[in-house]
């Protein structure tokens, strides 16, 4: 099986690529534009594998995509390419509209044309797997409700609105054209190779360097945290075993407030005997509350019973075990994140097309 993965140099995409190459016999074609969040150094462990190939390009470029499809002849698409940082979407939504909506439309149309020209046996097994977010559902009232696959959409940010739009496009291409699609909506991911603008890596690296640990509002916003390698396993289960036309929610069963996440990292750094920056008595002293961002959702929580019951997937990591692995990884891989912070990672080897 040959899987074409868009956004395979990103945080979640690279985890999926590594998982497939290291744990299956399948081949991967990684298509990535290499924006600021795309990093080929996250794929060093698989880059020389004969079952891996990389093509540098934009999913909004139809001619480029058609050439990739023609050369590689994929059996399935895993669409992860997206602009994904909420703060950036508030400051500049246009790139989110272009990549997340127009890019998904372009990929759907190229996939539909490709699928229509397949022979019957290959058409039967072809899949278009669209990877989305729980943020399309808006936020939850109280502490007991959970997002299910039938929760109405109520996006709050330009980012989540653009992802909701892409979800609707994918469902429409299934309903109207019969394209065999699958959709997954996941909770907040964390783990190794996470770009340092996101909460967990930002807090780890700021704490190590003695910089402020910014917390929006009072830090009471609740998120369900999913270890990225658990997510990669779930996505592979869906693309290989999922029922066409279905949506699967993927969550980690780990609801934590943002403040709990930050204090947990501080305590882990102390437990691991990481040296305190000069003048500090504790890492927690670096916590700094800042004005909340506009439209900040209060609580996300996933009901993942469908994927557990139908496909047999469950997360292997608790928040505590996953966070410990994550902190340890950043402590041991300064060569990766230092090159991200100084920008040198962006001078990367490009693909063939």
Q: Which residues are catalytic?
A: 134-135, 159
Query: Is-contact 18 51, C-beta < 8 A?
Result: no
Burial of residue 119 (number of CB atoms within 10 Å: 0-12, 13-18, 19+): exposed
Q: Which helix (H) or strand (E) holds 160?
A: helix 158-177
CA distance 221 to 24: 38
Q: Which helix (H) or strand (E) holds 223?
A: strand 222-227
If one counts every other C-beta atom within 10 angstroms of the C-beta of residue 213, the result is 21
Query: Is-contact 252 315, C-beta < 8 A?
Result: yes
DSSP H helices, 210-283, are 228-241, 258-271
Which two structure tokens, joined as six digits, stand for 249? Answer: 């929610």
If one counts every other C-beta atom within 10 angstroms of the C-beta of residue 45, the result is 12
CA distance 130 to 167: 8
Burial of residue 294 (number of CB atoms within 10 Å: 0-12, 13-18, 19+): exposed
CA distance 78 to 131: 7
CA distance 19 to 295: 35
For the chain, the farthest-separated pair of C-alpha atoms sits apart, in whole angstroms, at: 69
Query: Is-contact 327 265, C-beta < 8 A?
Result: yes
Burial of residue 274 (number of CB atoms within 10 Å: 0-12, 13-18, 19+): middle
């Amino acid at each position: 099986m040959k899987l074409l993965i868009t956004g395979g140099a990103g945080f979640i995409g690279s985890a999926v690529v590594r998982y497939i190459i290291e744990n299956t016999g399948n081949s991967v074609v990684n298509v990535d534009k290499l924006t600021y969040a795309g990093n080929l150094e996250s794929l060093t462990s698989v880059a020389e594998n004969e079952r891996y190939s990389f093509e540098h390009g934009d999913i909004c470029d139809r001619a480029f995509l058609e050439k990739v499809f023609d050369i590689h002849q994929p059996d399935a698409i895993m669409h992860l390419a997206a602009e994904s940082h909420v703060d950036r979407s508030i400051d500049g939504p246009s790139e989110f509209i272009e990549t997340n909506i127009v890019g998904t439309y372009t990929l759907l149309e190229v996939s539909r044309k490709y699928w229509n020209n397949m022979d019957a046996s290959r058409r039967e097994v072809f899949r278009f797997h669209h990877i989305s977010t729980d943020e399309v559902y808006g936020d939850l009232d109280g502490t007991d409700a959970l997002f299910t696959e039938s929760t109405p959409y109520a996006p709050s940010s330009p980012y989540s609105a653009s992802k909701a739009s892409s979800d609707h496009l994918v469902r429409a291409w299934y309903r109207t054209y019969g394209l065999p699609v699958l959709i997954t909506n996941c909770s907040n991911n964390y783990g190794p190779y996470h770009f340092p603008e996101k909460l967990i890596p930002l807090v780890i690296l700021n704490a190590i360097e003695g910089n402020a640990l910014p917390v929006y509002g009072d830090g009471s916003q609740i998120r369900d945290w999913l270890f990225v390698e658990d997510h990669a396993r779930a996505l592979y289960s869906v693309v290989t075993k999922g029922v066409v036309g279905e949506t699967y929610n993927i969550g980690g069963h780990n609801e934590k407030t943002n403040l709990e996440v930050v204090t947990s990292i501080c305590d882990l750094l102390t437990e691991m005997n990481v040296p305190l920056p000069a003048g500090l008595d504790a890492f927690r002293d670096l916590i700094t509350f800042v004005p909340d961002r506009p439209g900040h959702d209060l609580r996300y929580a996933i009901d993942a019973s469908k994927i557990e019951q139908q496909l047999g997937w469950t997360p292997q990591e608790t928040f505590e075990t996953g966070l410990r692995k994550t902190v340890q990884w950043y402590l041991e891989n300064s060569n990766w994140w230092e090159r991200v912070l100084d920008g040198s990672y962006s001078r990367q080897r490009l693909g063939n097309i």
